[in-house]
């Protein structure tokens, strides 16, 4: 694994070590995060270049392992109680339990050794284990004792981290495990199958048959799975209902009140694949005309009327004219590079300053010799690029249409590197200014977020998901406006489809990225919410993956942030992507119309006629004072 990938995967594991915390603090952190078996720093994050999850692409075989009913129940319960995994539904849990493998340990056996690669998650069925830290001279500091039912090292399912503690058997132990490759395969298989099944069910329903693929995808993703026990009532006659049901598994009996006898009369039986309650999606007030009771254990998919209205609007009574599914989208067109300039060559560019350096290469401020022309030159090793991805990055940056994206002028190559000559944004990274000021007033944060929204809207209209919003990737131009840079993780994504790569900056990753549920444009809306929080609070809301899974409710909001500020963050940082602001019928415009932006001049921003909250003072065209020169391994977003 190269340093570039390795740095990303270790970002959570080495936060404390980066800041050289004392052993005492390290021990406390480990007690708090012992189930993760990794340490997470509360200090401001260090800039590390992120990349895709490096889990290798070899074929993964999911082999079912036989287990007793008692063991199966124990494993399901343990996974359900795990903070990192409790968001998974029963289909995921069952699939994970099926492939978990058993290992037996005797007293003093090492289950996990500190410093080794973290690949597997463990569940302790029988016995006790001791968690400890190496202190040198062969001594260990005991941190914690864990007993049957505990989960160990579950963060290994998300990242290729290093173990930060030892786990040693205190007696005979029975432990079950699953590795990251298996987990990733299960998540992708299960989610793809689930999505196909849901879409197929929805397509069979007459009132939904004329929806576009994108609309079907949106409501398929918002449908909830519910389980009812035998004889449990699902709906009651005469009660108001706003929920539509699709039976996935089991059977239901339908009854109706006979007014003459005042008794419930059996009408028919409903089996898997059938549905009921569709009127709830069509009418403002629907009183149930029958009672539905579970004849067996029943699993159903449910659609709430409010969710359907929010995502696609009213289901039309007349389906004669459906809108073009591509309506509103703009084709991303490759712009021609500037005319070949004889003065633009590697030999004729003088390096003025290093703006950033990291695993991908180097960014320098360069000057055309004997001319007053300056560029930011990004050097990328040929061995570290995917040609198709690089072409997309170039295409995005070459477009002349967006004033909120760093512009690319020329591309040069030699035998080892590709060089991108871009506009120099000498106001520096937004991250550097945030670090200096600790946090921004809301009006200043609002301006930078608005610039980001303009860039993201431009990309989304061209079916491009960005996937790496953060202050480090926002550069300030000479007029104080923020511009989005670094499109290495951007990908073209068809509406209604999913991407599966685990990539981005961990503090900004949405739950569906971490848990490999498959993700789409809504990951950028989650990141916008995290960005608002970090710019106004001075730090991101989540310091560990397990807190990300719990959502924004675990974050604190000091009184200095206004109610509209809190509301927009909570609306964006929703664990369920289908309930995330920006993912509704109105799209990203619903973010722009939120009351946090009530007095904001969007037209002035787009025309660049409003004053930025801060403008850099540049003495020369090569003044790089606003770049962080102290960290030689910082990687500028350019």
What is the three-class DSSP state of 518? coil
Evaluate whether residue 164 is within a structural domain: yes
Whether the pLDDT of residue 15 is over 70: the answer is no
Whether residue 307 is found in the same domain as residue 242: yes
Q: Which two tokens stand for residue 449?
A: 């977020």
Evaluate whether residue 504 is within a structural domain: no
Strands (E), 485-593: 491-492
Last residue of a domain, one of 388, 422, 456: 422
401 contacts: CB under 8 Å, gap ≥ 6:
458
Which position has the token pair 């809190």? 566
Give pLDDT tens digits for 507-558. Answer: 999 999 988 888 999 999 999 999 999 999 999 998 777 788 888 888 888 8
For residues 15 and 45, is the Cβ–Cβ distance under 8 A? Answer: yes
316 contacts: CB under 8 Å, gap ≥ 6:
none
pLDDT given for residue 162 in this prediction: 86
Whether residue 167 is found in the same domain as residue 76: yes
Q: Which two tokens stand for residue 234?
A: 């699902």
Cα–Cα nearest to 444, from 381, 366, 361, 535: 535
Total tally of structural domains belonging to the chain: 3
Evaluate whether residue 427 is within a structural domain: no
Query: What is the pTM (predicted TM-score) of this model?
Result: 0.80
Work out the average pLDDT over 127-153: 90
Distances (CA, A) of 445 to 212, 248, 414, 600: 37, 46, 41, 12
Q: Percent of the chain beyond pLDDT 90?
A: 51
Evaluate whether residue 91 is within a structural domain: yes
Last residue of a domain, one of 270, 290, 312: 312
CA distance 96 to 433: 45
Cα 320 from chain centre: 38
Q: Which CATH number goes with the domain that contains 382?
A: 3.30.200.20
Of residues 256 and 284, more confidence is placed in 256
> Which residues are documented as binding site for ATP?
355-363, 378
Whether residue 17 is found in the same domain as residue 164: yes
Whether residue 120 is found in the same domain as residue 60: yes
Mean pLDDT across the chain: 83
Distances (CA, A) of 293 to 237, 248, 261: 11, 15, 20
Whether residue 299 is found in the same domain as residue 179: no
- The catalytic residue among 36, 286, 307, 468 is 468
How many helices (H) and strands (E) are present in the chain, helices listed first? Answer: 17, 25
566 contacts: CB under 8 Å, gap ≥ 6:
557
Whether the pLDDT of residue 1 is over 60: the answer is no
Whether residue 9 is found in the same domain as residue 78: yes
| pLDDT band with cut points at 50, 70 and 90 for residue 444 | very high
Evaluate whether residue 374 is within a structural domain: yes
CB burial of residue 260 (10 Å; 0-12, 13-18, 19+) = exposed
Q: Which CATH number goes with the domain that contains 274?
A: 2.60.120.10
Highest mean pLDDT among 10-14, 54-58, 128-132: 128-132
Whether the pLDDT of residue 354 is over 80: the answer is yes
Is 468 catalytic? The answer is yes
Cα 615 from chain centre: 32
Q: Which two tokens stand for residue 336?
A: 């021609």
Evaluate whether residue 160 is within a structural domain: yes
Put the strands of the sheet holding 139-146 in their side by side order. 110-112, 166-169, 129-136, 139-146
Q: Which two tokens stand for residue 589?
A: 């415009």
Last residue of a domain, one of 394, 422, 450: 422
Give pLDDT tens digits for 328-346. Answer: 667 666 655 555 787 899 9
Whether the pLDDT of residue 27 is over 80: the answer is no
Whether residue 276 is found in the same domain as residue 414: no
Whether residue 8 is found in the same domain as residue 67: yes
Q: Which residue range forms the structural domain that includes residue 257?
A: 211-312
Cα 306 from chain centre: 25
> Which residues are documented as binding site?
355-363, 378
| pLDDT band with cut points at 50, 70 and 90 for residue 36 | very low
Evaluate whether residue 215 is within a structural domain: yes
Work out the average pLDDT over 220-234: 89
Helix (H) or strand (E) holding 133: strand 129-136
Whether residue 81 is found in the same domain as residue 171: yes
Give pLDDT tens digits for 47-80. Answer: 333 334 444 445 788 999 999 999 999 999 999 9
- Other CB atoms within a 10 A radius of the CB of residue 360 amount to 20
Whether residue 290 is found in the same domain as residue 413: no
Give pLDDT tens digits for 162-205. Answer: 888 999 999 999 999 999 999 989 998 888 888 888 888 888 88
Give pLDDT tens digits for 198-220. Answer: 888 888 888 787 788 778 888 88
Strand partners, 8: none
Whether residue 218 is found in the same domain as residue 291: yes
pLDDT given for residue 4 in this prediction: 38
Evaluate whether residue 398 is within a structural domain: yes
Whether residue 42 is found in the same domain as residue 170: yes
pLDDT given for residue 636 in this prediction: 53
Whether the pLDDT of residue 571 is over 70: the answer is yes
Radius of gyration of the chain (CA): 27
């Amino acid at each position: 694994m190269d340093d570039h990938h390795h740095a990303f995967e270790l970002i959570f594991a080495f936060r404390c070590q980066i800041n050289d915390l004392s052993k005492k603090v390290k021990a406390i952190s480990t007690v708090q995060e012992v189930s993760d078996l990794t340490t997470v720093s509360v200090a401001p994050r260090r800039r590390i270049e992120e990349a895709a999850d490096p889990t290798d692409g070899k074929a993964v075989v999911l082999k079912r392992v036989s287990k007793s009913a008692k063991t199966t129940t124990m494993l399901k319960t343990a996974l359900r109680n795990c903070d990192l995994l409790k968001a998974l539904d029963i289909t995921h849990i069952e699939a994970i339990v099926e492939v978990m493998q058993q290992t037996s340990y005797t007293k003093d056996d090492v289950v996990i050794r500190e410093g080794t690669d973290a690949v597997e998650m463990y569940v302790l069925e029988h016995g006790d284990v001791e968690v400890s830290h190496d202190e040198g001279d062969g001594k260990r500091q005991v941190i914690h004792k864990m007993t049957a039912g505990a989960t160990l090292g579950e963060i290994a399912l998300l990242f290729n981290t290093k173990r930060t503690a030892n786990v040693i058997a205190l007696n005979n132990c029975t432990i079950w495990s699953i590795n990251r490759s298996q987990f990733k395969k299960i998540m992708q298989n299960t989610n793809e199958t689930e999505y196909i099944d849901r879409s197929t069910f929805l397509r069979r329903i007459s009132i939904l048959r004329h929806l576009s693929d994108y609309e079907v995808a949106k409501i398929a993703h918002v449908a909830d799975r519910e389980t009812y026990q035998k004889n449990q009532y699902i709906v009651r006659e005469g009660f108001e209902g706003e929920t539509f049901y699709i039976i996935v598994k089991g059977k239901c009996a339908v009854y109706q009140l006979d007014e003459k006898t005042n008794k419930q009369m059996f009408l028919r039986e409903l089996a898997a694949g059938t549905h009921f309650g569709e009127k709830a999606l069509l009418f403002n007030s629907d009183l149930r005309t029958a009672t539905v009771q579970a004849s067996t254990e029943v699993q159903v998919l449910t659609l709430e009327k409010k969710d359907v209205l929010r995502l696609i609007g009213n289901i039309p009574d007349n389906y004669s004219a459906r809108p073009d599914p591509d309506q509103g989208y703009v084709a991303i067109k490759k712009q021609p590079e500037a005319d070949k300039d004889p003065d633009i060559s590697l030999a004729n560019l003088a390096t003025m300053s290093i703006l950033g350096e990291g695993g991908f290469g180097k960014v320098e401020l360069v000057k055309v010799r004997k001319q007053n022309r300056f560029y930011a030159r990004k050097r990328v090793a040929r061995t570290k690029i995917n040609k198709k991805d690089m072409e997309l990055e170039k295409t995005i940056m070459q477009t002349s249409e967006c004033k909120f994206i760093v512009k690319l002028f020329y591309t040069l190559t030699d035998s080892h590197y590709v060089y991108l000559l871009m506009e120099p944004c000498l106001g520096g990274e937004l991250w550097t200014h945030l670090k200096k000021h600790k946090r921004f007033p809301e009006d200043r944060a609002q301006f930078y977020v608005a610039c980001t929204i303009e860039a993201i809207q431009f990309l989304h209209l061209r079916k491009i998901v960005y996937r790496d919003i953060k202050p480090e990737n926002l550069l300030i131009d000479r007029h104080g406006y923020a511009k989005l840079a670094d499109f290495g993780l951007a990908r073209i994504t068809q509406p209604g489809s999913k991407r599966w790569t685990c990539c981005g900056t961990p503090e900004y990753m949405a739950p569906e990225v971490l848990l490999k549920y498959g993700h789409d444009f809504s990951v950028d809306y989650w990141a916008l919410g995290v960005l608002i929080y970090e710019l106004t609070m001075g730090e991101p809301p989540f310091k560990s993956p397990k807190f990300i899974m719990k959502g924004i409710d675990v974050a604190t909001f000091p009184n200095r942030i206004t109610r509209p500020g809190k509301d927009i963050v909570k609306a964006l940082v929703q664990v369920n992507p289908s309930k995330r602001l920006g993912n509704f019928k109105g799209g990203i415009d619903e973010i722009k119309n939120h009351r946090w932006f009530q007095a904001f001049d969007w037209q002035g921003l787009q025309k660049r006629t409003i004053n930025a909250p801060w403008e850099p003072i540049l003495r020369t065209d090569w003044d790089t004072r606003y770049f962080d020169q102290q960290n030689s391994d910082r990687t500028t977003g350019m």
